[in-house]
Amino acid sequence: MSEHLLEVKDLKVSFDTYAGEVKAVRGVSFYLDGGETLAIVGESGCGKSVTIQTVMRLNPEPPARIVGGSILYKGEELTSKTDKEMRSYRGKEFSMIFQDAMTSLNPVVRIGKQMCEAIRIHEKVSHEEAKRRAIEMLGKVGLSNPETVYRRYPHTMSGGQRQRVMIAMALCCHPSILMADEPTTALDVTTQAQILELMQDIQRETGCGIILITHNLGVVARMAERVAVMYAGQIVEKGKLSDIFYHPKHPYTWGLLGSMPDMQERSDSRLTAIPGSPPDLFAPPKGCGFAARCPYCMEICLQSDPEESPVGEGHTARCWLLNPYAAACRPVPPVGRDKQLVTPEVAGYLERKGVTQDGQ
């Protein structure tokens, strides 16, 4: 029924804590096809990680609980699967690369052993075969002397090397979806570029779909085809790169683009920040999650949550401003600097990918 590789529909996830129920994800829908990259952006605590970890069912249950919605992978419903059934998906169909490669590898187990473990759990291969494949993967991710790396412990390697190991480990069973949770945040800039390049190479070679979580809009412009902007447990806007960067419709997206540092700007200009902080997800607001911080907030925004409105092909946003009745007061996006929300860095990436203002 589903023509997409992965389709998440109206997913709701809550955490039951002593203090009450935290509604971390409040109705998220997106899809991913093979070979494409979807970026999920948003500030800390908006539910990005919870969303993709729910797809793999990595969150401990309890306290995590899928309240509603569905996750279809190759047409198969995942939300009703038991933990045991999910095991054959994790590492085999989906793989995850975590933010902090320094702490994501077991410090007391050799790299090789950690990799072989991942291979042999899913495929009945001999130890020698697993070792051969592990070394081959380590070489593929650009580590020199893979045989030596195979025998090393994580603490003897740098952050970039470890992230390569993580990627090698994630790829050794040829997953069809690679989820990367801020894979470059903990790395220095030159290493970041290398890791991103590596991920792109791998995608070209294996045709896997990538879900990329990041704060960095430069990374989004460089890596993704489609973007989902998350705020307070919801996707407030999603669309193609050109939609989000050149025709953003949601005030939060405007804020997000506006708060990006611009290296070519005059040094005395200040960074634009979105004032306030995200709502408390113990008791999400009745209306729009962003209303309290939104400069265009209307009466209705505080009263009820806006529906997702289509604003173009594959481009939707959750905002009352898009309601036909709000047409009269439709504001212009804040054009702070030179009528451009996109920084030259982002524009450069977009141009290289052939993304223009009029769509791809």
Partner 1 sequence: MVCKELIPLKKYILQRLVISVITLWLIVTVCFFLLRLLPGNPFASTTIMTQETLDRMMAYYGLDQPLWKQYLTYMGNLLQGNFGYSLKYAGRSVNYVIASTFPVSAQLGFQALVFGIPVGLLLGILAAKFRGRAMDAGINVFVIICTAVPTFIIAALLQFVLGLKLGLFPVAQWKSFSYTILPTLCLSLGTISGYARSMRTLMLEVDRQDYLKTAKAKGLGNARIVIFHQIRNAIIPMITNLGTEIAGMLMGSYVIEKIFSIPGMGAYFVDSIQGLDYTMVMGLVIFQAVIVIVANFIVDLLYGIIDPRIRVA
Binding residues for partner 1, per CB under 8 A? 56, 58, 83-84, 87-92, 95-96, 98, 100, 103-109, 117-118, 121-122, 151, 153, 155, 166, 169-170
Nearer to partner 1, 179 or 198 (CB): 179
Number of residues that make up the chain: 360
**Is the CB of 121 or the CB of 335 nearer to partner 1?**
121
Residue with Cβ nearer partner 1 (59 or 79): 59
In the bound state with partner 1, the residue whose beta carbon lies nearer, of 184 and 242, is 184
Helix axes 127-140, 159-171, angle to 10 degrees: 130
* The pair of three-digit structure tokens given for residue 193, joined into one six-digit string: 């570029």
DSSP letters, 63-121, are TEEEEEEEEEETTEE-TT--HHHHHTTBTTTEEEE-S-TTTSS-TTS-HHHHHHHHHHH
CA atoms within 13 A on the CB side of 96: 21
Cα–Cα dist 157/24, whole Å: 35
Separation of CA 244 from chain center: 15
* Angstrom distance (rounded) from CA 171 to CA 182: 17
Q: Which is nearer to partner 1, 63 or 331 (CB)?
A: 63
Q: How far is the CB of 16 from partner 1 (least distance, A)?
A: 12
CA distances from 25 to 47, 72, 90, 287 (A): 6, 17, 21, 16
Query: In what helix (H) or strand (E) does residue 201 lie, and over which residues does it extend?
Result: helix 189-206
Which is nearer to partner 1, 88 or 145 (by Cβ)?
88
Nearest distance, CB of residue 356 and partner 1, angstroms: 38
* Least distance from partner 1 to the Cβ atom of residue 20, Å: 17
For the CB of residue 182, give the shortest distance to partner 1 in the complex, in Å: 12
Minimum Å gap between C-beta 158 and partner 1 is 15
CB atoms within 10 A of CB 85: 11
User: Which letter, b or e, does each residue of 129-148 get, where b requires 16 or more Cβ atoms within 10 Å of its Cβ?
Assistant: ebbebbbebbebbbbeebee
Q: Given the structure tokens 């992230």, which residue do they identify?
A: 163
CB of 57 to partner 1, least distance (A): 9
User: Which residue, 99 or 216, has its beta carbon nearer to partner 1?
Assistant: 99
> Shortest gap between Cβ of 306 and partner 1 (angstroms)?
34
